[in-house]
A and B are shown apart, each in its own frame.
Chain A
Amino acid sequence: MELTDIWFLLIALLWTGYFVLEGFDFGVGMLLPLVGRTEADRRVAINTVGPVWDGNEVWLLVAGGATFAAFPEWYATLFSGFYIPLLLILVALIVRGVAFEFRGKIDSDRWRRNWDIALFAGSVVPALLWGVAFANIVAGVPLDADHEFTGTLFTLLNPYALLGGLATLLLFALHGAGFLALKTRGDVRMRARGLAHGIGLATVVVGGAFLVWTFLAHGAAWTIIPVLVAALALVGTVLMTHRMREGWAFLLTATAIVAVTVTLFGSLYPDVLPSSTDPANSLNTTNAASTPYTLSIMTWVAVVFTPIVVAYQAWTFWVFRRRIGTADIPVATGLPARIPTP
């Protein structure tokens, strides 16, 4: 196996880690208005991801950095070409990140309501747009001989990509519902379970359609395997939710996300960004890659440190494994909205 193939796999792994992990905290953010009817319920939901969301998001930063290091041409074309969607994602991640930290800082309903909107929008926008982006990556975009993107924003908003966006949106919402059902007790758990039912059925339909389209239009023969795994996992999620097996349901949505990511990267290989104007202009693992010297150094670093990162992140989930309910939520410690006059 070439070093360039190893790096294609590693980048697929980083995106998989990102979607599996941040997928559920996007889901929690999206479902916040639905599972959290009271302030205590909303805090229960937010605190299920409180200790881990930031570590989850680093998978994205490392995926970005690794793409820059291993496939500079891919990094350059992708992020300059998908300029406006990426801008929206960045803005969403910014407001969402500060929302976690700032929401409880002032004890005022209006303050918290505004941050709840930030959490909701900041979760919906990236969950949708990552799907739009990856569908476009797999389908290909207009690239000229210099590998420059020649389309517009509307090139990216084609039916296949929008279906992809809807599929990831639903998939992450389902993943989040499963996570909430697994990590909470009381009303939030009940509502999350109920939502998982409805979202689960919708995900089977929309996700299934997206997978079939991907396979028929862009898939390699072997990608039928991850397509089937993803489909079975989604159906399994619905069944396990019905049987109230929350651990299994969550594990199955995680499996579905892994399988969808494998399908997407598998369909892409050996291209990294196909050109829809002329196949000769496509970026692939060879013409987009860094030198073998850089790739070999990066491989050593990745081989040594990725397992360490996975180990300590797994330990974090173990430390915070306990379910939480409203009884666990301490009284609000935010400062009053108005400065008290003596």
Chain B
Amino acid sequence: MNLDLARWQFAIVTVYHFLFVPLTIGLSVLVAGMQTAWVRTGNDRYLAMTKFWGKLFLINFAMGVVTGIVQEFQFGMNWSDYSRFVGDIFGAPLAIEGLLAFFLESTFLGLWIFGWDRLPKRLHLACIWLASIGTVLSAYFILAANSWMQHPVGSIVNDERGRAELVDFGAVLTNSTAVGAFLHTITACFVTAGVFVMAISAWHLAREQHVEVMRTSIRLALVTVLVGSAGVVVTGDLQARLMTEQQPMKMAAAEALYDTVAPASFSLITIGSLDGSEEIWSLRIPRVLSYMATGSFDGQVEGINDLQRDAEQTYGPGDYRPNIPVTFWTFRLMIGFGLLAGLISVVGLWLTRRRARAPVPRWFFGVSVVALVLPFAANSAGWIFTEMGRQPWVVFGTMLTADGVSPSVGAGSVLLSLIVFTLLYGVLAVIDGVLMVRYAKAGPPPTAVPDRNHDPDDPGATDTTDEPRPLAVAY
């Protein structure tokens, strides 16, 4: 009971938090790029882009920040036995993430938001880049922590103390799983931000408003999505092989592959029995799974039943199979939604090419707007797959999820916090959604050009410190 409630709570608050994070990471870099273009060219179109996308970025950033606070504390709240067991290893990247990344992003973002008329242009530009670097760094450290749960390296289990202990921090930071997950996540962040910019630009272009700004934006977005998608595919391929080697059960579950075969086909769709233990019908592409899992079209892929038998021999009696329908479908949705976003960007780049004879057809704008859901759905599906596919383990091969929950926290408390967070996050989702839509529709602000009289780069215009004049930006 406690276990289920605690898992639901972790899933809800974490998936929710991760709706905002990839957009923050990707968009911070895009906005920094736009501002760089403005500083280098002086073209006001880039300034309008920086201000417009920057405003949407900040609305999203606020949600990412506040939902992130919960993440730092919930391991202790609902997963105290997990925390006791892993703290020696898992805590370090979390603390370093705070010290190196969170301070950097929050402090320099504050400087960026309010520093438009306070800082010289280039220093102000450096602030958004430093904030971006902070967001990317934070991704690395938290993924290193998560990757240790997927593939525990650099550690031993001290039975006397009943905990895992760090013996090689370098191994934790250079864990192949972490490198793979980081590259896959970061490229996905660019796809997310790219699709976000693409969808909103398309909405305006369909209405023939803010055409200059939005045309430049959509081209930037389409290139970002294409490059990001290519990166996602390449890194996803790398990850699939690591997964086969490190967590073969997860790969088998992704495929609902019950019996070991060589070569293995990839099923596009499989209908299984209700308890998920048997296959009834499927549509398959020959040999593709072998390639995904092993890099060879003839490779052998182990099946769930064999792996379950092996696991019982190694770890003792128990059910070591994850929830097959969930892993099977989230794996497909992740890949499907991701590929679809990439495909749209190829079509879009063709339709919006400079030498295009025909105007961009309206259906493309419609498709682009609807495509907004794709990266968010793919990101969520990907994480649900990764985490559900590791079950029943919380630390693969080392600690069961069931052994990680807080023994001293009653079901009532967990249920209460589950309800409180769900309701609060629901209300915030509505508010955030309304603000996002309204600010996206409002388009770039008309007064994007800064007040030349107070250009901090121009010493002649520098004011004395206490002379009252309106701030360029204020809450």
**Chain A residues within 8 Å of B, Cβ to Cβ:** 43, 46-47, 50-55, 57-58, 60-62, 64-73, 75-81, 83-84, 86-87, 90-91, 93-95, 97-98, 100-106, 146, 148-150, 290-291, 293-294, 297-298, 301-302, 305-306, 309, 312-313, 316, 319-325, 327-331, 333, 335, 339
Contacts and interface: CB of A to CB of B under 8 A. Distances in A.
Contacts of A47: 471, 474-475
B113 A51 contact: yes
A55 B70 CA distance: 17
A66 B95 contact: yes
B408 A101 contact: no
A73 B88 CA distance: 10
A38 B438 CA distance: 27
B468 interface: yes
A263 B223 CA distance: 57
A73 B178 CA distance: 26
A72 B83 contact: yes
B139 interface: no
A236 B288 CA distance: 76
A91 B204 CA distance: 37
Contacts of A306: 99
A72 B106 contact: no
Given A76-B83, A97-B65, A290-B88, A305 B99 contact: yes
Contacts of B417: 83, 87
Contacts of B63: 98
Contact of A339 (B76, B83, B84, B438): B438
25 contacts: A61-B72, A62-B95, A65-B72, A68-B91, A70-B91, A73-B84, A73-B87, A75-B87, A75-B91, A79-B77, A80-B80, A80-B408, A83-B417, A86-B73, A94-B66, A100-B475, A101-B59, A101-B61, A105-B59, A105-B439, A146-B407, A309-B103, A316-B107, A319-B115, A319-B118
A47 B431 CA distance: 22
Contacts of A330: 470-474
Main secondary structure of the interface of A (DSSP, over half): helix
A95 B69 CA distance: 12
B169 A83 contact: no
Contacts of A71: 87
Contacts of A329: 470-471, 474
Given A52-B110, A305-B99, A64 B72 contact: yes
A185 B96 CA distance: 39
B99 A69 contact: no
Main secondary structure of the interface of B (DSSP, over half): helix
A168 to B, nearest CB: 19
A226 B11 CA distance: 44
B102 interface: yes
Interface in B45-88: 58-59, 61-63, 65-70, 72-73, 75-78, 80-81, 83-84, 86-88
Contacts of A64: 72-73, 76, 98
B324 to A, nearest CB: 32
Nearest to B98: A62
Contact of A293 (B96, B98, B166): B166
Nearest to B89: A294
B91 A79 contact: no
A94 B59 contact: no
B474 A43 contact: yes
Given A97-B66, A97-B69, 16 more contacts: A43-B475, A51-B114, A55-B107, A61-B69, A65-B95, A72-B91, A83-B413, A97-B65, A98-B432, A148-B80, A290-B166, A297-B166, A323-B466, A327-B468, A335-B438, A339-B438
A17 B414 CA distance: 31
A43 B111 CA distance: 18
B470 to A, nearest CB: 4
B92 interface: yes
B88 A65 contact: no
Given A68-B76, A79-B77, A294 B110 contact: no
Given A293-B166, A319-B115, A328-B474, A302 B99 contact: yes
Given A58-B102, A64-B73, A93-B66, A81 B408 contact: yes
B421 to A, nearest CB: 8
A76 to B, nearest CB: 4
B474 A319 contact: no
Contacts of B106: 54-55, 57-58
A335 B77 contact: no
B424 interface: yes
Nearest to A122: B66
A302 to B, nearest CB: 7
A313 B87 contact: no
B69 A93 contact: yes
Given A43-B474, A98-B63, A312 B72 contact: no
B87 A76 contact: yes
A105 to B, nearest CB: 5
B119 interface: yes
A69 B94 contact: yes
Interface in B100-122: 100, 102-103, 106-111, 113-115, 118-119
A320 B102 contact: no
A102 B431 contact: yes
Contacts of A298: 92, 95-96
A61 B408 contact: no
A118 B73 CA distance: 22
Nearest to B438: A335
A51 B468 contact: no
Contacts of A327: 468-470
B146 to A, nearest CB: 14
- 7 closest pairs, A vs B, by CB? A72-B87, A79-B76, A69-B91, A68-B91, A101-B62, A327-B468, A65-B95
Interface string B376-417: 000000000000000000000000000000111100010011
B420 interface: yes
B169 to A, nearest CB: 5
Contacts of A321: 465
B165 interface: yes
Contacts of B470: 327-331
Given A62-B95, A83-B413, A298-B95, A50 B90 contact: no
Contacts of A97: 62, 65-66, 69
Given A319-B115, A335-B442, A51 B62 contact: no
A62 B102 contact: yes
Contacts of B409: 80, 83
Given A68-B76, A69-B87, A320-B114, A305 B100 contact: yes
Contacts of B70: 90, 94
A297 B73 contact: no
A328 B469 contact: yes
Q: Which of A60, A65, A301, A324 has the most CB of B within 10 A?
A: A65
Contacts of A316: 107, 110-111
A301 B62 contact: no
